[in-house]
Structure 1
Amino acid sequence: MSFAQSVRWWEEWQLRFLVLASLAFQYFLFAAALLRKRRIPHWFRALIWLAYQGGDIVAVYALATLFNRHKKDEVAAAGSDGGGGAHLDILWAPVLLLHLGGQDGITAYSIEDNENWRRHLLVAASQITVAIYVFCKSWWFHDGRLLRASILLFVPGVFKCLEKPWALWNATVASIANSSDPQMTLTFEEDDRTLPTDTDDMDSLDKYVTAARGCVDKEAKRETPLFFDDKMSNDEPYHLFVDLAHPYYIRLKNLQVMAAAKGTGRAEAHGRVRVAVSRAFDRLYTKHMASYGGVLRAVVVIVTLAVVGLFRRRGESLPYARADVVVTYVLLCFTAALELISAAVVLGSGLPETDDKLSQYNLLAYLSRNRRRRRLRHAALLVGLKDQLDWLWPTAPPVPSRRVTELVHEHVVGGWMGYKDNAGGGVWKGIRSVEDYRRFNDSRGQRTLESAGLVATAGGGVGGGTAVERILRMPFDESVVAWHLATELCYFDHVDVGGGSATRHGRAISEYMAYLLFVKPWMLMPGARRKLFRAAYVELRRMVEEEEESPSELEEEDDGEYEETERWKKAKPRAMDEIARKIIRKLRDPPTATSSGGARSPARSLSADLVRIAWELSYELLEFGKGKAEEFVNEEGKKKQLAEEEKKKASAAVAEPEKKQLTAEEKKRKEEEEKKQAARNKEALANRARKHGDERMWEVIQGVWVEMLCFSAGRCSGYLHAKSLGKGGEYLTYVWLLLSYMGMETMAERMQRTELRPVEGDAGALVSTSDLEEDDDDEPSARTGAATTAATAVVAAPPAAISGSAVVPFVGDDNV
C-alpha cells in the first residue's frame, strides 16, 4: 500500500475509529469511577486522568472531523451540481454529545476542575453548534422515521452535554456556599423536640456548651438507646467543606446522635459519618446528587433503544456503507447499555464508600529503604523525580482504622464526660465552660500527660523543664517529628517484650502523622514544614555512618559486644532494628566535637537538637514505664505478704499432733524446691511488671497520638479535605467530620472565635525553615546570613538498655 493509498484509507476510516475510541473511553471512565473512591495504585489514577482528558479530546476531534467531512461534501456537491451522499452522521453526532457529557461518577477529576465550568460550557456550546450543523446538512437524506428518532436522541444529547458544566458549577465553592440547605432553615422545634427547649435562642458558644454537656449527660443515663430512623440533621455536610460553620442547633442535633450511639450503635454512627464523606464526594466530583439525573438517564436509554429498533427496520434498506452500519449498531447498543448500567448503579446504591485506611511513613524505615535502594534513589535524583518517588512510595502498606476511630470516639466522649487517672483521682472533669471547651480542642497531648502525671499543668513551666514539657511548647510540626522518633526509640528499646494493642495503634497513628508531614504537610496543619522530616533523616543517617566508622568505643566493650560491633561494621545495617540500635548506641553518649565532626552548620545543629530531644523524651517515657513496673512489684509484694500472713494464721490453727514431722533430708529438699519456686516467681513477677510498665507507657503514647491526630484534623481547612477526596481521600477527613459531628471545634468554628486564645506552645522553632533547603542526599552547607537562633540546651539522657533480640515489627514494617 502506497503512502497516498494509506492517507485515503485513513481519511475513510478515521471517523469510525474516533467514535469507537470515544465509546471505549466512556466505558473505561465508568469502571474507573467505581474505583476512584478507593485506595488504588498511583499509575492507575494517572490512567484515569489521561482518560478523563482524552475522552473529551477524542469526542471534540470526532465532531470536528464530522464538520470537515460535511464541508467537503458541500463543496463537492456545489461543483458537481448534485446532491451529497447519505451518511449515518445524523446518528453519530448526538451520541458524541452524550459522550461529551461524561460519566456520572467522574464529572470532575480534581477540585480545581469545578472552577473551570466556564471553559466546559464554552466547549459544550461550540460542539452543540457543530452537531446542529451536521444535523442540518444531513437530515433531508434520511427516512422520516429515522429522522424523528434522531431528533429524539439529539434532544437528550444536548441536555447531557450541558449537564456537565452545570454539575461543575454546582460543585464550586461559591455555589455550595450560596446554596440553601432546607434543614438550615428549620426552627429548633420543627427539627427535633427531644432536645432541650431552652435552646431556641442559642446564639453563643457558652449556651451551646451548656446545652451540649446536658445532652451528653442525658444520653449517658439513658438505658435504652435512642432510635434515629433515617439520618442525622447534617447528613450532607457540604457547608463544612467550604469552611462554613453550621448553626449551634444542628451541631447539637448531631452530637445527640453520636452520644446516643453505644455498642453496635456506635459502629452504625461511624458508618453514617463514612456515608456522609461519600455523599460529599458525590456532590463535589460526580452528578449523582442531581435530582433529575435518573429521569434523563431513563430518557436516553429509551430513546437509544428506539433508535436501534428503527434503524434495524429502515437503515439496512438505505445505501449506507457496511462498515458504517456495523459501527452504528455498536455505538447505539453499547451506549444504551452503558446508560442503563450507570442508572442501575446509582439507583441501587452500588457506589463504594470512601477508603479510610491510615497511610504509613516511618522515618527509620525510610532510612533503611534508602540504604538498600541506593541505585534507584540515585537514578531518581538524576532525573529530578526523587520527591515524587518519596511521595508515591510509602514505607509500609496502609492499616485499618476501625480501632483508631474508636479511640478518637472514646477520647471525645471522655472530653465531654471527664475521666480519671490510674490512681482513681479526678484529672479532667469534663467540658463545663467555654474555657474547658477550648482547652480540650487545643490539646495536643496535655490531657493524657496530665492524667499520667508526666506534667503538673498543661505546658509546664515557662522555660526549661522536662523534655515532655519542652515539646508541648514546640511548634506542632516539630513535636510530630520528636514524638515520632521517640515512639520508634521506645519500641526498639523494648521490642523483645512484644507489642500489644496500644503499641500497634500508637505506632500506626505515629506513622500516619509522619506520612502527613512528609507527603501532605498542608493537611497536617497550615504552615507545616516538610523539610523537618528531611532534616531528621539527614541527621539520623549521619549518626549511623559515624557509629559505623567510630572505633573509640570498641575497646571499652567485652569480647562478645566487640565481635557484634565488628560484624555490624563489615555489613552495614539495613534493617530497621539494626539501624535503631545504632542510633540508640550513638544517642547514649552526649555529642562531642570529635563525634560530631567539628563545627556544624546551623541546619545540622538544630536538626541534631531535634533528634536529641526526641531521645530525651523516649528516656522519660521509658523511665515512666519503669516506675509503673516498680509500683506493680510493690503492689504484688503487698498482696503476697497479705496472702502469706493469712496462710500462717491458717497453719497455726492446725493442731500440733496433726503436723507431719519431716526428716532432715526432706527439709533440705523442701527448702531447695522453695528457693527454685521463689526464683521462678521472681522472674515471672519481673516479666509481668515489665509488661505492665510497657503497657502503661504505650497507653500514654497512644493517648498523645490520638490527641495530636484530633488537633491536626481540627486545623485543616474544609477545602483541603474536599481536595483530598478527589485523590482517594485521607483518614484525617473522616476524623475531622467525626469531631464535627461530636460537637468539637473545627477550622470553621475556630475562625469565628470572638476571643482567640493562643494555643499552648510558642512560635519558636528548633529548626528554621531557611536552614533546611539543602538536599537530603548532600551534606548541608553553612549559609551566610542564616537566622541566628539559639539552640536549645540539651542534657544527655542516661543510657538505656538496648535489647539484643530486636525484631522487625509487622506494623510499619520495612518490607515494601
Structure 2
Amino acid sequence: MSKLWNEWELRIMVLVSLFLQIVLILLGNRRKHTANNWLQFILWFTYLSADWVATVALGILSNDSEDDKDDRKDPSQNSNFIIMASWAPFLLVHLGGPDNITAYSLEDNELWLRHLLGLIVQLSVAVYVFLRSWDDKSLNFLTIPVFVAAIIKYGERTWALRHGSSKHFRESILPPPDPGPNYAKFMDEYSSRKAQGYEVSVGTVIETTTPMVLNHSQGEIRNESIPDALSLHDGFNFFRIFKILFADLILSFQDHKNSQYFFQNKSWGYAFQVIEVELGLMYDMLYTKAVLTYSRLGLFLKAVSFSSTLSAFITFCYLIVIDKAYSEIDKCISFVLFSGAIALEIYAVIILLSSDWAMLWLSKHKNWRVDLLYKSISCLQKWFRLSHTKRGSNLMSQFNLISFCLKDKPVKCIQIQKQLLIYELLEKHHYQHSETVPEELKTLIFEQLLDKSRRAVDIEACKQLCAHRGDRVLEKWNCHASDAIDWSIKVEFDQSILLWHIATHLCFHSDASNNSECVNHQSCKTSMLLSNYMLHLLVMCTFMLPNGIGQIRFQDTCAEAIELFQERKYISERNQACKVLLRVNTEIPPSEVKGDRSKSVLFDACRLAKSLQSLEETELNWSKEKKWEMMSHVWVEMLSHAASQCRWVHHAKQLRKGGEFLTHVWLLMAHLGITEQFQISRGHARAKLLVS
C-alpha cells in the first residue's frame, strides 16, 4: 500500500491542486453578491487547502530530485522524473491563484510579506527541481514558458495582497505632498517692502471651487446600450473620492458638499444603485487582483502569461504526445494541467470582460467593434451564467430572541453535534435566516436620512445627527416628555437594541392576537425586519456595533426567558410566550427586585411594550398605524447610529460575505453629508501682501 501511495502521491496532489483552483475561480466571485454560510465555508477550506496542497506537491518533487539522476539506470525512470519535474511551474501557477480571489479575508492582505517570502522560496524550489531534471530534452525547454506564466501569476498575487494591506492602501490614496505657499519668499518680500518705507499689511484670499452639476457623468457616456451605464459612471467617480473613507481618511469640504448636493437630488433607487457599484469596486480592490488586472500593465502581463502557456501547450501536443519515452499516465496528467491552465485563463478573461470595470470602458466608446464585443460578452455571460449587474446580496439577516429561547426550530443531528462539541457553535446560526431588503424599507431610510442631510451644515451638526439613536424621533413625535418610553433610549446602545427588539415583538403579537389589520401595515413589517436585523448585528456581528456588554445582556436575557418558559411548560409557540410576558406585573421596576447582578432586560422590555401599547389608550389616543410608524422611525435612527459608529475595517470585512446592509446605510449617510470624516475649512486660504 505504501509503495502504491509513493508512486501516486505526486500525481494525486497535482490533480487535487488543479481541482482546487477550479473551485476557487468558479466560486470566488460569487461571495461578492451571495450571503451563504456554506459558500463561505467551502471557499475558506479551498483557499487554505490550495496553497497547502501546492506547497506539499513541490516538496515531494524536491525530495524526489535528491536522488541523483545518474543513479537512475533505467531510462524510463529518468524520463518519468523529467515529465514530473515539468509540473513544478504549474504548481507555481496554482500558488498564484485565480484573479477573482487573492485574499479570503482582510488579514490575508496584511501577510503580503509572508507571500513574498513564499514566492522566493517556492520559486527557488521549482527552479532547483527544474535544473535537477535538465537533460537537453524538448520537454525541458517547454517548461520555460510556463515558468514565465508562473512568475507573473504569483507576482500578481503578491502585489495585489500588498496593495490591499491597510498601510499601502492608505498610501496609495494619500494626495501628493503639498508644501503650500513659499513662506520664506513671502517674508523676504514683506521685509523688503517694509524696509523701503511702505505700509504693509497681510490680507487673506479664500480659493474656492464651484460645486459639481447634476448628471455630471452624462457627457462621458457614448454607448447607452450598456446596462446601468450612468450609475456605473457615477459610482466610479464617487468611488475615486469616497474610497478614502475605507482608509480612515477625511473628505475635503468641497467633496463633502458636492456629494451631498448630488444625492439630495436623486431618487432612493438610484442612490442605492450607485452605492452598490462603489462597494463592488471596493471589494475588487481589497480581495482580488483588480488593482493590477484592470490596468495596462495587467492586461499586458495577462497577454504574456496566456500566450506563454498556449505556445507551450501547442508544442507539447506536437512533440511530446507522440514521444514513447514518457509514461502515458504522466503525459495525460501533463495534458490535463496544460488544458486546465488555459481553460482557467480563458474563464478569467470572461470574468474580466463581464466586470463593471469592462462595462465602464465599453460605455465610453461607440463603434461597431465595441458593439460586436459587447454582444459577444453578453452571449458568454448567458452561457456561463454571469452577470455584472448583480453586485450585492440585497439581504438582511434576521435573529429572533424569543424564537431562540423557545428552541422552536427542530435541529437535525443534534446529538451528533453535541458529541462533536459543535452544537453551541452552530446553534445561533440555526436560528438565523435572511430576508430580502424591501423597497419600502430603502425608501423610508432614504427619506429619513435626506431630512437629516438638510441639517448637516457643519461638523457640529453632523456629530449631533450621528449621535441620535431614537431620541430625535421621540422628540418629533412628542414622546420625549414621558419617561415611560424615553428612558429606553437613554441607556447604553446595546441595551436599547434588546429592549426595543423584545418590545417590538410583544407589540406585534399583541396586535396580531386582536386581529388587528395594522400587522399588515408596512410600518409594522419594517419595524419587525429592522428589529430582527439589529439583534442579528448584536449577536452575530458585535464588532460592528459600539463597544458595550451586549453579549452579556443577551445571554442573561435569554437565561431569564428560558427559565420563565420552562416553569410554564405549556408554552411552545411565540404567541403564547408573548402573552405570558405581557401578563407579568411590572409595576415595580425589575432592578429594585433583582439588583444589578443580572444584566437581563426581559421584563424592562415588557414595561416598554406596555408603555408603547398605552399610547393608544392615553390622552394621545394614537392609532395602531401611528404607533408602528413611530416605532419604524426609531429603528431607522438606531440603524443609522450603528452605521455611523462602525469602523471602516468592519464594513470592509463584511464585503466578502455578500455585503452588510449596514454598510450601504453607512455609505449613503456619508454621501448625504451625515459623517464626521470631512474637513471643516471651506477652501484654501493664502496670504496676500497689501502695500500702501
TM-score under structure 1 length normalisation: 0.68
Check 1:82–1:327 CA distance in 2 against 1; reply closer, same or farther (3 A cut). Answer: closer
Maintained 8 Å contact 2:84/2:330: no
Does 1:438 find its partner at 2:463?
yes
- Mapped partners of 1:280, 1:335: distance in 2: 28
Could you tell me which residue of structure 1 aligns to residue 605 of structure 2? 614
Question: Does the 8 Å contact 2:25/2:98 carry over to 1?
Answer: yes
Q: Deviations over 1:363-388 (max 9, x none)?
A: 11112226x65997787667554542
What is the deviation of 1:357?
1.2
- SS of 2:559's equivalent in the other structure is helix
2:338: which partner in 1?
Answer: 332
Q: Distance in 1 between matches of 2:508 and 2:47?
A: 45
Can you list the C-alpha shifts for 1:422-479, whole angstroms capped at 9, x where unaligned?
xxxxxxxx445554333222111122212211125xxxxxxxx513221222111111
1:365 and 1:576 in contact (8 A); partners too? yes
1:142, distance to aligned residue in structure 2 (A): 1.3
Give the Cα separation in 1 of the matches to 2:144 and 2:673: 54
CA distance in 2, matches of 1:41, 1:358: 12
Aligned CA distance change for structure 1 residues 96 and 451 (closer, same or farther; 3 Å): same
Which amino acid is 1:697 matched to? Answer: K
Write the distance in 2 (CA, Å) between the matches of 1:473 and 1:240.
29
Aligned to 1:455: 480
Q: How many angstroms does 1:511 deviate by?
A: 0.7
1:525 and 1:618, CA in 2 relative to 1: closer, same or farther beyond 3 A?
Answer: same
2:450 & 2:64 partners in 1: Cα distance? 69
Matches within 5 A, 1:25-64: 25-64=20-59
- The unaligned stretches of length 5 or more in structure 2 are 181-204, 221-232, 356-386, 682-692
Deviation (angstroms), 1:26: 0.4
Q: Is the 8 A contact 1:199 1:249 kept in 2?
A: no
Equivalence map 1:569-584=2 (5 Å)? 572-584=570-582
Match of 2:675 in 1: 745
Structure 2 SS opposite 1:235: helix
* 381, 403, 419: which one aligns with 1:365: 403
Q: In 1, are the aligned partners of 2:35 and 2:393 still within 8 Å (CA)?
A: no
What is the number of residues matched between the two proteins? Answer: 601
Over 3 Å counting, the alpha-carbon distance change for 1:259 and 1:181 in structure 2 is farther
Match of 1:243 among 226, 248, 252: 248
Return the structure number with greater relative CO, CA threshold 8 A, min gap 6. Answer: 2
Equivalent pair of 1:241/1:718 in contact (CA under 8 Å): yes
Residue 231 (1) aligns with residue 234 (2): yes
Matching residue of 1:107: 102
Following superposition, the deviation at residue 342 of structure 1 comes to 0.9
Query: What runs of 5+ residues in structure 1 fail to find an aligned partner?
Result: 1-5, 188-197, 203-210, 418-429, 457-464, 549-568, 632-692, 755-816
Q: Deviations over 1:224-255 (max 9, x none)?
A: 99957522543144322232222222222222
Which structure has the larger Rg? 1
1:698, distance to aligned residue in structure 2 (A):
0.6
Q: Could you tell me which of 316, 321, 336 is aligned with 1:316?
A: 321
2:13 touches 2:57 (CA, 8 Å); kept in 1? yes
Q: Does 1:155 align with 2:159?
A: no
* Identical positions, percent: 27
Shift of 1:741: 1.4
Q: Deviations over 1:458-508 (max 9, x none)?
A: xxxxxxx51322122211111111111111121111112132101001110
State the match for 1:717 in structure 2: 647
Secondary structure of the residue aligned to 1:88 is helix
Question: Cα RMSD between the aligned structures?
Answer: 3.4
Distance 1:447 1:591 in 2: 25
String of CA shifts for 1:62-97, please: whole Å, max 9, x gaps.
2222222222143515x8999944622453222211
1:71 equivalent to 2:49? Answer no
Closer, same or farther: CA 487–128 of 1 in aligned 2, 3 Å? same
Task: Indicate which of 141, 145, 164 corresponds to 2:157.
Answer: 164
Instruction: For residue 36 of structure 1, give the secondary structure of its aligned residue in structure 2.
Output: helix
- Distance in 2 between residues matched to 1:28 and 1:238, nearest whole Å: 30
Structure 1 CA distance, aligned partners of 2:450 and 2:638? 16
SS of the equivalent of 2:173 reads coil
Q: Secondary structure at the match of 1:19?
A: helix
Output one character per residue of 1:332-384: Cα deviation in whole Å (capped at 9) or x when no partner.
012101111111112221454232311001111112226x6599778766755
2:552 paired residue among 517, 525, 531: 531
- For residues 201 and 378 of structure 1, the distance between their equivalents in structure 2, rounded to whole angstroms, comes to 69
Q: Is the 8 A contact 2:399 2:433 kept in 1?
A: yes
Residue deviations 1:144-203, cap 9 Å, x none? xx5544322211211211222221111000011111367999x9xxxxxxxxxx98459x
**Aligned partner (choices 297, 307, 313) of residue 302 of structure 1:** 307
Kindly indicate whether residue 412 of structure 2 is the aligned counterpart of residue 412 of structure 1: no
Q: What is residue 518 of structure 1 aligned with on the other side? A: 539
- Deviation track 1:560-589 (CA, whole Å, cap 9, x = no partner) reads xxxxxxxxx6xx221111111111112466
Residue 630 (structure 1) shift: 4.4
Give the Cα separation in 2 of the matches to 1:33 and 1:628.
59
Name the counterpart of 1:788: none
**Cα shift at 1:277:** 1.0
1:542: Cα distance to partner? 3.0
Change (3 A) 1:383 1:326: closer
User: Is 1:177 matched with 2:170?
Assistant: yes
Alignment match of 1:483 (pick from 493, 500, 506):
500
Distance 1:9 1:378 in 2: 39
Give the counterpart letter for 1:492 in structure 2.
Answer: H
State yes or no: 1:603 paired with 2:609: no
Q: Return the alpha-carbon distance in structure 2 between the equivalents of residues 445 and 479 of structure 1.
A: 9
* Counterpart residue type for residue 398 of structure 2: Q
Match of 2:100, SS state, is helix
Q: Deviations over 1:89-147 (max 9, x none)?
A: 4532222111110111111111111111121111111111111122223343312xx55
- CA gap 1:578/1:729 in 2 versus in 1, 3 angstroms: same
Per the alignment, residue 640 of structure 1 pairs with none
Q: TM-score if structure 2 supplies the norm length?
A: 0.79
Query: Offset at 1:392?
Result: 1.9
1:135 is aligned to 2:126: no
Check whether the contact 1:176–1:238 (CA below 8 A) recurs between aligned residues. Answer: no
| Pair 1:397-2:453 in alignment | no
AA partner of residue 663 (structure 2): T
SS of residue matched to 2:107: helix
Say if 1:507 and 1:92 are closer, same or farther in 2 by CA, change over 3 A: same
* Aligned-residue offset at 1:527: 3.1
- Choose which of 293, 301, 315 in structure 1 pairs with 2:298: 293
Secondary structure at 1:108 match in 2? coil
Q: Aligned letter for 1:282?
A: D
Structure 2 CA distance for partners of 1:91 and 1:582, relative to 1, 3 Å: same
Q: For 2:648 and 2:427, locate their aligned partners in 1 and report how far apart those are by CA, in whole Å.
A: 26
